[in-house]
Each structure stands twice: as C-alpha cells, then as structure tokens.
Amino acid sequence: MCRWAAYRGEPIYLEELVTSPAHSLIEQSHCATRAKTATNADGFGIAWYGDRPEPGRFRDVLPAWSDCNLKSLARQIKSPLFLAHVRAATHGSTRRDNCHPFVNGTWSFMHNGQIDHFDRLRRSMESMLDDEHFNARAGSTDSELLFLLALQFGLRERPIAAMAEAIGFVEQISRHLTGTARVRFTAAFTDGQTLYGVRYATDEHAPTLYAAPMGGKGGYCLVSEPLNDETDWVEIPAGSAVILNANGLDAAGFDPAWEPERETAELREPAMAH
C-alpha cells in the first residue's frame, strides 16, 4: 500500500511534509507503520502549484529515500498546494508513467489502495473512456485509470460526485464480471484551487487517512500516516470526503453509486480492446 501527503494553505516548503518531520513521507517510504507493507520503494512523485494553473511535477522510479534530487527540490520549492506520494506497486510495473501523482490539465490525483480483480475489469473500465481520456492514459495502473474515469464522469464540474460515480461503476462491473467487489481507496485530488480527499472501502478495511492544521491561516494537510507525535491529528472516518479551500476544512459523506440510466456499453468483458 502506498503512502501520501497533501497540503493546502499559505505557501510552505515541500520539505515540511516530505523530508523534515520525524515521520516524514521519506521516512514512510521505508518505515511505514499503518500500512500492510512497511516499505514503499516502487517510485515517488510530487505535484505542486504556483503562479500558473497547471502543476509542476517530478516523478522517478528510485526509492524516495535514495533520491537526492527529491530532497533538494523539497528544500527549495514553496507552494500553497501540493501532493506527494511514495509507491508500493499492486498493479503496473515500476516505471515513471506509473508513479503518482497523475496530471491532466490543471487536475492532479494520487491514490492509495487497491481494486480487486483489476486484470478482469481493466478492459471494461477502459471501454467507458472517450477518445480524449483513453489517449491520455500513459501508464498501466488501476489508479490512473480510475482518475481518467472520474474525469470522464465529470470530475471538473462535480469532483466528489464524479469520483463516487467512478468507484460505484467499478464496483458494479466487478460484481457483474466476478461475482464480488472490493475497492479500498484513499485519494487526494485537486484543480489547483481546492484540495479534495476521500477515504472509502467496499469492506470494513479502508486505508487510513488523517488531517491536521498546518501553515497557519486555515491551512491543512491530509496524510496517510501522522507525520509526528506532537500535532493533534484527526482520523477521517471511512466513507467520508473532505474539502479544503480558502474557508478551511469541510467534510461530507462519500457514497459510491452508479447511475444505471447513463448511456454506457453493456456490462460485459469487451470482445475487443481499443
């Protein structure tokens, strides 16, 4: 299972999440304490926002703890909104295109969790994408494909509802094709203005997600694991979405649902791939 951290607020240096804390994201890349695996060595990535609407991004396949460039960038880059991720691969090989965060236009997305039976579901998921979103797929992970599905379903206009619809669709096709469904999911995604976080699982084992004030003036961070023992971390309940904007933090329920009236291909394994 991967580990990630995200921040929105007054500009801070990336190192305040990535390298400096006692249990920083780099520390979690080899000593995670609240995940199935303690080591997250299959690459890393950061996406940050500045004066332009689209994010900057740096990704590599090296373990985060061994990359001196990441430490240097985290020390020098100051941003009001950024995502950082260390990867433990479940689907997709170790290559740069499979490292989070994923970016499409002004949007960026990162994920921790898994989609059971993904190899059986992949082609049905891909068949839902129009040409624009299908051609945007660069890697082979379930995470990137779920991001593209959410974009297809309206992430730009209704972020939480579109993400819920994407997960609901995956659960439905999984039940149809395999007889069971299990999605475990925490994610952070943003358009460069508002930061969204979600914690959800089909079963009772949602990956962990915590929030805490940071940076002053209404700033917050979202993390897979607390970065230290001093801050008052709040665990986000399973089945919840959080929204971080200029007004601070707000929370809402997160209930995946698929709209059967949507015009789609039949729920079956496609005979042909794109």
Q: Catalytic positions, please?
A: 2
Say which range, 63-67, 213-217, 254-258, 263-267, has the weakest mean pLDDT: 263-267
Q: DSSP of the chain, one letter per residue? A: --EEEEEEEEEEETHHHHTSSTT-HHHHHHH-SSSS-S---S-EEEEEE-SSSSPEEEEESS-GGG-HHHHHHHHH-EEEEEEEEE---SSS-SSGGGSSPEEETTEEEEEEEEETTHHHHHHHHHHTS-HHHHHT--S--HHHHHHHHHHHTTTTTSHHHHHHHHHHHHHHHHHHHHS---EEEEEEEESSS-EEEEEEESSS-PPP-EEEE-SSTT-EEEESS-S-SSS--EEPPTTEEEEEETTEEEEEE------TTS----SS--SS--
Task: Domain 3-253: state its class.
Answer: alpha beta
User: Distance (Å, rounded) from C-alpha 110 to C-alpha 81?
Assistant: 14
pLDDT at 259: 65
Residue 268 has pLDDT above 60, yes or no: no
Give first-to-last CA distance, the chain, whole Å. Answer: 30
Q: According to the model, what pLDDT value does residue 64 have? A: 75
State the pLDDT at residue 32.
52
Hey, where are the domains in the chain? 3-253
Percent of the chain residues past pLDDT 90, beyond the cut? 70
Least confident of 3-12, 36-45, 127-136, 225-234: 36-45
d(CA 13, CA 85): 16
The mean pLDDT of the chain is 88
Between 93 and 114, residue with greater pLDDT: 114
* Residue 143, both tokens: 């995470």
Q: What's the CA gap between 34 and 139, in Å, rounded?
A: 27
Residue with structure tokens 């985290």? 74
pLDDT at 273 over 80: no
Q: Which of 35-49, 163-177, 222-236, 239-253 shows the lowest mean pLDDT across its residues? A: 35-49
Alpha-carbon 130 to chain mean position: 22
